[in-house]
Amino acid sequence: MSTHAAIAAHTSRTVPGYLASVIAMPSAAGVLPSTPPRTSADPLATLGHSKVLDRGTTVFTEGDAAGAVFRVHSGVIRLHKMLPDGRRQIIGFLHTGDMMGLAFADQYLYTAEAVTATTVQRISRAELEAVMDAQPGFARKLLSATTSELMAAQDQMLLLGRKTASEKLASFLLRLSARTTAGRIVDLPMSRCDIADYLGLTTETVSRTVTKFKSARLIRILVDGKLELLDHDALTDLAGGF
């Protein structure tokens, strides 16, 4: 179980807190050449300030006063919740462009930590509110992003409640591969323990299932935390149409 366990961050949490909203709003860097000059630039671009975080750093902790939202500019962040005895459930992994901490309450509802070295942009609640007031379309963008995140959360409920270990791992790998443009190569920056706590399994079960997939020639482990999907179709069948 979670190596983190130990003393659970069990602050008072009767009040609903901030929650994550993944906002797909790629930074200017990735603009397609064919795209005409955009009429509405990123309204958050000039707000707040950026921070560089080492691997393992905590961005905020469940129960903390929630004064700001964050946007990931590079790297991977994990969000998790904990039970009093230290059992951990990872709520999601955030990549470049994703936002976290968006909500209308006064405490964070989960902990955010850097899986890899990351840069995040901190935007205070006040600033965010100001943008929503100034730009009528912005709230709808946030709504759209939050809605997408909710969809993902519902898929995850199906996974956690009804899928077997193999199905969970297959789904996880396919989702990661769908996220990256690079065909069959998947980047796995997180530990087996992180994967386990995301899929509702133990490290041992994840490890055994990975070994099973290797033996069945479904995947191949590469160097540097990368992995190749050898049989996308078989994995898709396993994952249950997702």
Positions touching a second copy (CB under 8 A) are 10, 13, 16-17, 19-21, 81, 83-85, 87-89, 91, 102-104, 109-110, 132, 136, 139-140, 142-144, 146-151, 153-158, 160-163, 197, 199-200, 240-241
- Which of DNA, a second copy, none does 155 bind, CB closer than 5 to 8 A by kind? a second copy
- Asked whether position 205 contacts DNA by CB under 7 A, the answer is yes
Q: How many CA atoms lie within 13 A of 56 on its CB side?
A: 2
Of the candidates 119, 120, 139, 150, the one whose C-alpha atom is nearest the C-alpha of residue 43 is: 139
Q: 3-state class of 146 per DSSP?
A: helix
Determine, following the binding rule CB under 7 A, whether residue 1 of this chain makes contact with DNA. Answer: yes
String of contacts with DNA for each residue 136-175, x by CB under 7 A: ----------------------------xxx---------
- φ, ψ dihedrals at 194, nearest 5°: -65, -45
- Give the Cα separation of 47 and 206 in Å (integer): 41
Applying CB under 7 A, which of residues 43, 86, 97, 200 lies at the interface with DNA? 200
Among a second copy, DNA, none, what binds residue 203 when CB lies within 5 to 8 Å by partner kind?
DNA
C-beta of 78 vs 163, nearer to a second copy: 163
CA distance 18 to 35: 35
Q: Please tell me the number of Cα atoms within 13 Å of 227 on its side-chain side.
A: 24
- Beta bridge partners, 18, equal 108
Q: What is the DSSP letter of 65?
A: B
Partner whose footprint covers residue 204, from a second copy, DNA, none (CB < 5 to 8 Å by kind): DNA
CA separation, residue 139 to residues 42, 66, 152, 226 (Å): 13, 19, 20, 37
Quick check: 222 binds DNA (CB under 7 A)? no
> Contacts with DNA in 44-63 (CB under 7 A)?
none
Residue number, 21 or 111, with CB nearest to DNA: 111
Distance between alpha carbon 200 and the CA centroid of its chain, in Å?
A: 15
- Least Å distance, CB 83 to DNA, is 12
Q: How far apart are CA 58 and CA 27, in angstroms?
A: 24
Residue 94 interacting partner from DNA, a second copy, none (CB closer than 5 to 8 Å by kind): none
Residues 175 and 149: their CA atoms lie apart, in Å, by: 14
Question: Cβ of residue 218: shortest distance to DNA, in angstroms?
Answer: 14
Positions that interact with DNA (CB under 7 A): 1, 3, 164-166, 191-193, 200-208, 210-211, 221
